[in-house]
Amino acid sequence: MDDLLFRRNIYADPKTTDPDVISAKNLDPAKQKFAREIEQLDQKIFDALNVPVPEELSEKLILRQSLASHQQQKKSTRIKLAIAASVAFAIGLTINQLQFSHAYSSVGDYAIAHTNHEASHFNNNGEATVTLAALNKKMASFNGQFTANLGELMMAEYCRFDGMRSLHLVLKGQKSPVNIYVVPANDHLAYSKEFTNGELSGLVNDFKTSQIIVVGDLQEPLQQWQQRINKNVRWST
């Protein structure tokens, strides 16, 4: 497993039990160090976000601020609040970098941005080495499977789609790669069945518990891809 795929898996799930990821980590000290650092960062974020808030905190802060005789207490409170704000800001930046925070309001905008962000890592001459069995192993996380190959599959890896653990597929298209995203159903991203930015276009298949999004260049016959997906995908729930 190359560094890019390994890092994508670790970013998506620092505690992954995927045997391919674990094998790659065990064979490479550098990968072990990277995985350990990300897991430590993930734990720090978890700890920071789970600090218990004292009861009636707001009332106590207001009272302290209103009493002139408690100037020293107010100064200490401001310092603590400033530190908490700094920690929250740093955590926010980290999450933005690792998980693509909710910067987009629609599925189409995010799918195009995600595709453009990783476009340099793939081209239509790449090797199609991912088997149907390997794909379905990852689809099991979404209670789904494909009954037949969708095409020449170059990559099938977990990713973060606007913060949601999703599955990103890259297949050979007519002239350039086709990106397919399997995303959990959600209500914080608006979507339309079709979208485009003038260079890329996309279609959204809306299923009961998931959405499958297809993104390709303007010459790509996306409706054929959509029909192929509808014909071959099966859900267990």
- Secondary structure, 3-state, 44-58: HHHHHHCCCCCCCHH
Token pair 């002139």 is found at 68
User: What is the rounded distance in angstroms from the CA atom of residue 173 to the CA atom of residue 171?
Assistant: 6
Count CB-CB contacts under 10 A for residue 168.
23
pTM over 0.85: no
User: Is the confidence at residue 144, as pLDDT, over 80?
Assistant: yes
CB atoms within 10 A of CB 231: 11
pLDDT digits (tens, 9 = 90+) for 175-225: 999 999 999 988 778 878 999 999 999 999 999 899 999 999 999 999 999
Q: Where is average pLDDT lowest: 52-56, 167-171, 216-220?
A: 52-56
Which ranges in the chain are annotated with CATH 3.30.200.100? 107-235
Report the distance separating Cα 94 and Cα 81, nearest Å.
20
pLDDT confidence bin for 103, thresholds 50/70/90: low
107-235 in CATH: which number?
A: 3.30.200.100
> pLDDT digit string (tens) for 31-48?
888 888 888 887 787 777
What stretches of the chain show up as alpha helix (H) in DSSP?
Answer: 3-12, 19-26, 29-49, 57-66, 71-99, 107-118, 132-139, 222-232
pLDDT for the residue 79: 60
Most confident of 41-45, 47-51, 62-66, 87-91: 41-45
**What pLDDT does residue 95 have?**
46
